[in-house]
Amino acid sequence: MNNHEPHKWHIDDPVTVIRTYASASTSASARTDGLNWIKELADEWKSPFLVVDSEVGRLWNHQLQSLFSTSSGLYLMDAAEELKNTFTLDQIWGSMAGAGVRRDTPVIVVGGGLTCDIGAMAASTYLRGLRLMLVPTTLLSMVDACLGGKTGVNLAGVKNQVGTFHPAEIIVISPEYLDTLPEREFRNGMAEALKTALIGDPGIKTIIQEVSEAEYSSDQILEMIERCLKVKGEIVSEDLLENDSRMLLNLGHTVGHVLESASEFRLSHGEAVGLGMIAEAAIAVRFGGNSNLPEEIKHLLEFCGLPTEIEGIPSSEVLARLLQHDKKSRRSGRIWALPFDWGDCRLTHMTTDQEEEILPQVLSFLRT
């Protein structure tokens, strides 16, 4: 790939164009190479309304000025989990109204997964839906959250209880943003990449190890991102509304969301999903899965600098209460995405009785 030219590809149903940009240099002066999307897409995305992570806006203010100056309106938001709620959503709607947003006003969201979730939800609901471009700025949002059309906010302390499906028309991937990403946030993205390796591309494991153990190149990061998005894109194309196979992408998230909520979001999303993958691999062993897999996942998470144990495992009562909010819940129990082996993830139904028996034992593996 020519590092000065964007790599353009797409997934079908819904059609989402993904444009990836890589700088030929790692120097600070070359940072603008990956921001050429602002110039290239200016004519097609005129006077957009912007939702931007306030920290990204501060760190990249100079490079984003041309976008800010041509926008119809701007909402800067702090990417804090406690602000991912209907109050913030209402504030964005109010800002849209104040800016005079019309049905032909496009929306561009620049930020991590949290900002993309709530910004995309505002775009999906204001005037019953506006054109949307996502510019993910964290590794987690680049490898996973940006693609697939899910939007959402938290409700009553439970993750993503209100949301819509509203796929972006264009996704812009620019690894330059990772230059200013805190280490913990980078590790969060590695957890989601590992999840994708488990679901559909075990070869991603090798890239994860290469990126974790040394100074990584832009090409390595782009390869990992593209391989992750291709796995997710194939699944989403078959099941956009998550009625069947798309539930596989929830690997690690059933237990992960419980741990994340129970910690009052002191655990980051990637950390919780990593712990969830260990627990759910241990559950899969009960159904005939690879008995070595929980330890293999644990080893890779440790290699990435992610936690594999926690203090304060939720009680059975808290566990049952939080699981009731899981979107895969059914009258007779829940559908789980369980990893039986690398590249072998299966949707598995567990009754409430099975969960009550198995989960406390499995979660004890995570106790420090």
* Size (the chain), residues: 368
Cα 349 from chain centre: 25
pLDDT at 30: 47
Which residues in the chain come in under a pLDDT of 50? 1-4, 24-30
pLDDT at 5: 62
Mention every residue, 6+ apart, whose C-beta is less than 8 A from residue 311: 367, 368
Structure tokens at 147: 């693609």
pLDDT at 1: 43
Segments making up each domain of the chain, as ranges: 7-181, 248-366
As a whole number of angstroms, the distance between CA 122 and CA 361 comes to 41
Task: Give the closest residue to 151 by CA, choosing from 172, 130, 137.
Answer: 130
Per DSSP, 43 falls in state T
Straight-line distance from the first to the last Cα atom of the chain, in angstroms, rounded to the nearest whole number: 45
As a whole number of angstroms, the distance between CA 256 and CA 262 comes to 10
Buried b (16+ CB within 10 A) or exposed e, 51-88: bbbebbbebbeebbeebeeebbbebbbebebebbbeeb
DSSP letter for each residue of 48-101: -EEEEEHHHHHHTHHHHHHHHHT-SEEEEE---GGG-SHHHHHHHHHHHHHTT-
pLDDT at 24: 47
Amino acid 364 reads: S
Architecture of domain 7-181: 3-Layer(aba) Sandwich (3.40)
| Max CA distance (Å), the chain | 59
Alpha helices in 10-53 (DSSP H): 37-40
Architecture of domain 248-366: Up-down Bundle (1.20)
Neighbours of 155 (CB within 10 A): 15
Per DSSP, 245 falls in state G
Cα dihedral 60→65→66→70 (10° resolution): 130
> What SS3 class is residue 140?
helix
pLDDT at 28: 46
pLDDT at 32: 53
Mention every residue, 6+ apart, whose C-beta is less than 8 A from residue 342: 197, 198, 202, 205, 293
Is the previous residue joined to 175 through a cis bond, with omega within 30 degrees of 0? no
pLDDT at 27: 45
pLDDT at 2: 45
Whether 276 contacts 337, CB under 8 Å: no
pLDDT at 115: 98
pLDDT at 250: 95
> What residues pair up with 225 in beta bridges, in sequence order?
none
Amino acid 104 reads: D
